[in-house]
Structure 1
Amino acid sequence: MTNWSLLAPILLYLIATLGLSRYAASRGASESSFERRYFLGGQFMSGPLLAFALVTTYTSASSFIGGPGAAYNFGLGWVLLAMIQVPVAILTLGVIGPKIWRLAKQHQAVTILDILEQRYHSKTLLVIAGISLVGAFMGMVVVQFTGGARMLSVMTGVEYHWALALFVGTVLIYTLWGGFRAVSYTDALQGLVMVFGTVALFIAVLNYGGGMSAITAKLHEIDPALLSHRGPNDFLSWPFLLSFWVLVGFGTLGLPHTALRAMAVKDGRALKQAMVLGSMVSVVVILLPHLSGVLARAILPEIDSPDNVLPKLMITVFPPLLGGLLLAAPLAAIMSSVDSMLLQTGSTLVSDLAGRFAELNESQQRRLSHLTMLLLVAGSGLMALNPPQMIVWLNLGAFGVLQAVFLWPIILGLFWPKANASGAISAMLVGAGGFLWMLNSGFKPFGIHPIVPALAASGAAFVLFNRLGKACDA
Structure 2
Amino acid sequence: MTVAIQLGIIVGYLLLALAIGLVAYRLTDRTAEDFYLASRTVGTIVLLFTTFATLLSAFTFFAGPNVAYEQGPEWVLVMGLMDGIIFAILWYVIGYKQWLLGRQYEYVTLGEMLGDRFASRRLRGLVAGVSLLWLFPYVMLQQVGAGTALQALTEGTVPYAVGAGLITAFMILYVVVAGFRGIAWTDTLQGAFMLVTTWIALVWVLAVVGGPSAASSALEAEAAHHLALGSDFYTVQWMLSTAITIGFGVAMFPQVNQRFFAAGSKKVLKRSFALWPLLCVLLFVPSFLLGAWARGLDVAIPEGENVLPVILAEYTPVWFAALVIAGAMAAMMSSSDSMLLSGSSYFTRDLYRPFVDTDLSARREDLLARIGVVGFATASFLASLWNPATLFELGDAAFSGFAQLALPVMVALYWRKTTRAGITAGILASQVFYLSSLFTSIVPSTYAGWTAGLVGMGLGLVVTVAVSLLTTPAPDERRAIYFDGLEAD
TM beyond 0.5: yes
Q: 1:411 corresponds to which residue? A: 410
Shift of 1:326: 2.1
C-alpha displacement at 1:66, in angstroms? 0.7
CA shift, 1:142, in A, is 0.5
**For residue 180 of structure 2, what is the aligned residue in structure 1?**
180
Check 1:290–1:16 CA distance in 2 against 1; reply closer, same or farther (3 A cut).
Answer: same
Contact 1:342 1:376 (C-alpha < 8 Å) held by counterparts = yes
Compared with structure 1, are the counterparts of its residues 283 and 72 closer, same or farther at alpha carbon in structure 2 (3 Å cutoff)? same
Residue matched to 1:439: 438
Say which of 464, 469, 472 aligns to 2:472. Answer: 469
Structure-to-structure mapping, 1:186-265, within 5 angstroms: 186-231=186-231, 234-265=232-263
Residue matched to 2:485: none
Alignment check: 8 A CA contact 1:305 1:389 kept: no
1:62-211, aligned counterparts within 5 Å? 62-83=59-80, 84-87=82-85, 90-156=88-154, 157-211=157-211
Determine the structure 2 residue equivalent to 1:457: 459
Residue pair 2:87, 2:251 contacting (<8 A) in 1 also: no
TM-score where L is the length of structure 2 = 0.91
Match of 1:312 in 2: 310
Matched, 1:294 2:297: no
Query: Does the 8 A contact of 1:150 with 1:163 survive in 2?
Result: yes
Cα deviation 1:179-233 (Å, max 9, x = unaligned)? 11111111111101111111111111211221111111111111211112214xx
**Which is worse superposed, 213-222 or 324-333?**
324-333
Q: Partner of 1:45 in structure 2?
A: 42
1:101 is displaced (CA, Å) by 0.9
Alignment-derived partner of residue 277 in structure 1: 275
Equivalent position amino acid for 2:46 in 1: L
Tell me if the contact between 1:54 and 1:89 (Cα under 8 Å) persists in the aligned partners. Answer: no
8 A Cα contact 1:126 1:352, kept in partner: yes
- Any conservation in 2 of the 1:81–1:244 contact (CA below 8 Å)? yes
- Paired with 2:248 and 2:87, the residues of 1 have a C-alpha distance of 11
TM-score (norm. length: structure 1): 0.94
Aligned residue identity for 2:438: L
Matches of 1:248 and 1:389 in 2, distance apart?
A: 18
Structure 1 residue 89 displacement after superposition: 5.0
Q: State the Cα deviation string for residues 123-163 of structure 1 (Å, max 9, x = none).
A: 11112111111111011111111111211221133121111
Q: For 2:322 and 2:169, locate their aligned partners in 1 and report how far apart those are by CA, in whole Å.
A: 19
Contact 1:144 1:335 in 2 (8 A): yes
Distance 2:88 2:233 in 1: 29
Of residues 302-311 and 414-423 in structure 1, the stretch that sits farther from structure 2 once superposed is 302-311
Distance in structure 1 (CA, Å) of the matches to 2:287 and 2:445? 31
Give the one of 333, 343, 346 matched to 1:345: 343
Are the equivalent residues in 1 in contact too, given 2:205–2:316 (CA < 8 A)?
A: no
Instruction: Report the Cα offset of residue 457 of structure 1.
Output: 0.7
Whole-angstrom CA distance in 2 between matches of 1:383 and 1:185: 29
**Contact 2:168–2:381, Cα closer than 8 Å, also in 1:** yes
The alpha-carbon distance between structure 1 residues 323 and 448, as it changes in their structure 2 partners (threshold 3 A), is same
Deviations 1:307-351 (A, max 9, x none): 511111121121111222222332232112111111111111112
- Other structure's SS at 2:385 match: coil
Q: Report SS of the residue matched to 1:407.
A: helix
The answer to whether the aligner puts 1:13 opposite 2:20 as a matched pair is no
Secondary structure of residue in 2 paired with 1:298: coil
Gaps of 5+ in 1: none
One-letter identity of the residue aligned with 1:113: G
For residue 465 of structure 1, what is the amino acid of its counterpart? V
> Deviation of residue 375 (structure 1)?
1.1
1:426 aligned partner: 425
The alpha carbon displacement at 1:439 in A equals 2.9
Q: Which ranges in structure 2 are unaligned for 5 or more consecutive residues?
A: 483-489
The Cα shift of 1:72 comes to 0.6
Instruction: Measure, in 2, the Cα distance between the counterparts of 1:307 and 1:38.
Output: 37
The Cα of 1:364 is off from its aligned counterpart by 2.8
| Partner Cα separation in structure 1 for residue 283 and residue 277 of structure 2 | 10
Offset at 1:306?
A: 5.5
Q: For residue 302 of structure 1, report the CA deviation from its aligned partner.
A: 2.7
Conservation of the 8 A alpha-carbon contact between 2:69 and 2:292: yes
Distance 1:311 1:320 in 2: 11
The whole-number CA distance in structure 2 between the counterparts of 1:368 and 1:208 is 52
Aligned partners of 2:383, 2:266: CA distance in 1, in Å? 41
In the aligned structure 2, how far is the partner of 1:168 from the partner of 1:433? 31
In structure 2, what is the equivalent of residue 394 of structure 1? Answer: 394
How far apart, CA to CA, are the structure 2 residues paired with 1:66 and 1:94?
Answer: 28
Q: Select 2:51's aligned residue among 43, 54, 69.
A: 54
Query: Distance in 2 between the 1:47 and 1:93 partners?
Result: 14
Q: CA deviation at 1:391?
A: 1.1
